[in-house]
Amino acid sequence: RMQRKALEQLDWMVVRDLYEVESAAFWYKGTEPVDPSTIKTEVFLLPAAASTEKEGSFTNTQRLIQWRDKAIDPANDNRSDLWFIYHLGKRLKELYANSTEPKDRPLQALTWNYEREAPEPESCIQDEPDALRVLKEINGYYTRPQSERQSLPANGREYELHEAPHVAGFAALKDDGSTACGSWIYSGVYPEPGRNLAASRIPGGYTNLKWGFAWPANRRILYNRASADPQGRPWSERKKYVWWDEAQNKWTGYDVPDFPLNKAPDYIPTPDAKGMDAIAGTDPFILKPDGKGWLFAPKGLKDGPLPTHYEAAESPVPNVLYGQQINPAALLNKHRANNQLADVADTNYPIVITTYRLTEHHVSGPMTRWMPWLNALQPSLFAELSPELAAERGIQHGDWMVISTPRGEIEAKAMVT
């Protein structure tokens, strides 16, 4: 309710989705009666392309970047995210092209040349940007010829994005303006023309180093120096992963070593060493100043280093483990008329409810709720409850029940499990 009331106060709002979702339709329909004449918000609903209707990359929680090829053109006027963002930026640059305001100079100087050399063959969309050019900018590139990289003369030549050489990885990035990079952790995903590692699909070995690209540097496990003992030998020959090769005087293994390649296990830093030189050869956690694994942050926090227990903002029980009921950093507008919260141990609200995802519906369902076969499998809202709670409330499996909070109520089918 608070979100809907807030949306009513906007001048305008843009919604991009495959279908008209609740956010786009709030001004004329909702869970409560709506009078469109009282809502000043102007809504622009822009049709989006589905994942199979556009090319690009996606990154999952294991840091693996995989390239997705386009399978089919989107229907009607639907367009990709890249199309919308690119053409919006292009129009903004045109709008401010002649501005003399200093505040507009960053927009005027913004690199925004992602056009394809030729329209996509057999596509109905003739002005779709080149996703590989965007990937190149994210990967990083040299901004000027090698002979001019040390210092740019007044008449020096800057590369255009499409002609600039790729950087091979984040180790090549400089702070002198000779390189540009959209995101250093992704640097190396597109190290040279025609070699998009996110699109690589070569299986093999249990690390699968040639399947996609894991940021940073295609490492599949971070801090993998820890897979070897202090002397650099695998803790287990059966599970060996990264180790020190005495003959080659470097770290090697089945993954990209997450450690200075030639730093020997017996390296001991001097007392005045700084940066990576201050990390000993036995310390795997190179992003920590001491190279050690931390169980907690030793400084920088107002409260203690170990976690404590807080109850939720609404709880049927007091906090029996700690004197503070809820997180003291939480900002609660408890007494607002449109956002009432139940008091602690309020007998009117004794049940804790949690939510979870369904196999048949993806998050809030903008894509899946329009598919009849998925709706046949999961057609309506339901709530699970135990046989004991169902018996206590006189609820049978399949009954309609009302779930209420101080802020409102909904109806759902009962699933007694």
Alpha-carbon Rg for the chain in angstroms: 28
Own/partner pairs for 407-411, CB < 8 Å, 24+ apart? Answer: 407/1, 407/338, 407/339, 407/340, 408/1, 408/31, 410/31, 410/381, 411/381
Residue 260 pLDDT greater than 60, yes or no? yes
Burial of 392 (0-12, 13-18, 19+ CB in 10 A): exposed
Residue 155 pLDDT greater than 80, yes or no? no
Please report, for the chain, the start and end positions of each structural domain, with discontinuous segments joined by +. Answer: 2-47, 52-214, 224-294, 296-344, 368-416
Per-residue model confidence (pLDDT) at position 154: 44
Per-residue model confidence (pLDDT) at position 150: 61
pLDDT per residue as tens digits for the range 212-257: 999 999 999 999 999 999 999 999 999 999 999 999 999 999 999 9
Q: Which residues contact 396 (CB under 8 A, 6 or more apart)?
A: 390, 414, 416
Provide the pairing of β-strand 179-180 with 12-17: unpaired
pLDDT per residue as tens digits for the range 365-380: 888 888 999 999 999 8
Residue 99 pLDDT greater than 90, yes or no? yes
396 HSE (CA, 13 A, CB side): 2
Q: Residue 192 has what DSSP assignment?
A: B
Structure tokens at 381: 């809202």
Q: What is the CATH number of domain 368-416?
A: 2.40.40.20
Q: Residue 92 has what DSSP assignment?
A: H
**Mean pLDDT along residues 323-343:** 83
Alpha helices in 100-245 (DSSP H): 105-109, 131-139
What share of the chain has pLDDT > 90, as a percent? 78
User: Phi/psi at 9 (nearest 5 deg)?
Assistant: -95, 0
- CB atoms inside a 10 Å sphere around CB 403: 14
* Placement of tokens 């090829």 in the chain: 69
Residue 119 or residue 338, greater confidence: 119
Q: How far apart are the first and last CA of the chain?
A: 31
